[in-house]
């Protein structure tokens, strides 16, 4: 088994994040630092992350968190800020976030110790719709809605088609429900800015057809068997 997959299966982080940890020299095999990708783990090897031994977990767990604003989507933070792991009651399960939500974004975030599941949910080849509610400044015109639906230029690329509808508005703000099928960095915020409307607040409300429903802000629950089956079949 390759080192990055072993680390992900141990619940250290997602496979991509584990690759970063290896490059940073934070992983050791039998006491020696390794910094190259592709190294294989053999039976009997002792693997450590930041000098703490890690081992494979027998039971895979899958959670949904309603993330509040002001939490980093990471296992640890070098600057000492609160992370989403601080909201997990049982730290022994060594879960990590699947994908990311910005520091100032709230809403649905999946957590797991299953590296294969996280890899599938975040790899670009798997097209998984994600739905957000963005509260923006000003009244959004029909023309701007059409632009958001059909694709807007962000930096050096044009966004894919999106589903966009107005869910609330007044003279000063508009709340848009936006469903996208890609996950560029800060994409929703940049899309709204591209049509002249800065985002006041942003919340992810669904992944596929699985919604937050009545999960309260800051709370966490296990995914149901049906939810997990649905996500694995996307």
Q: Which residues contact 195 (CB under 8 A, 6 or more apart)?
A: 140, 144, 147, 148, 152
Asked if 152 and 197 count as a contact pair (C-beta separation under 8 A), the reply is no
Contact 61, 222 (CB under 8 A): yes
- Match 């059409």 to its residue by tokens: 146
Q: Taking Cα atoms as reference points, which of 90, 110, 92 lies closest to residue 208?
A: 110
- Quick one: which of 41, 35, 36 has its CA closest to 10? 41
Instruction: Report the catalytic residues.
Output: 102
């Amino acid at each position: 088994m390759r080192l990055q997959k072993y680390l992900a299966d141990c619940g250290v982080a997602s496979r991509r994040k584990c690759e970063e940890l290896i490059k940073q020299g934070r992983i050791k095999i039998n006491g020696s630092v390794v910094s190259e990708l592709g190294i294989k783990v053999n039976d009997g090897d002792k693997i450590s992350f930041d000098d703490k031994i890690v081992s494979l977990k027998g039971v895979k767990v899958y959670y949904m968190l309603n993330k509040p604003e002001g939490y980093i989507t990471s296992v640890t933070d070098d600057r000492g800020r609160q992370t989403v792991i601080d909201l997990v009651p049982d730290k022994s399960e060594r879960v990590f976030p699947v994908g990311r939500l910005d520091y100032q974004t709230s809403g649905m975030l999946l957590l797991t110790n299953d590296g294969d599941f996280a890899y599938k949910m975040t790899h670009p080849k798997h097209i998984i719709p994600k739905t957000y509610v963005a509260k923006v400044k000003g009244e959004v015109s029909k023309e701007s809605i059409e632009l958001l639906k059909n694709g807007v230029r962000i930096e050096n690329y044009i966004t894919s088609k999106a589903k966009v509808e107005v869910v609330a508005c007044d003279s000063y703000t508009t709340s848009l429900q936006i469903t996208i099928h890609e996950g560029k960095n800060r994409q929703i915020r940049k899309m709204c800015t591209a049509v002249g409307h800065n985002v006041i607040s942003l919340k992810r409300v669904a992944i596929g057809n699985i919604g937050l429903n009545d999960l309260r802000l800051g709370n966490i629950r296990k995914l149901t068997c049906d939810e997990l089956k649905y996500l694995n079949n996307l």
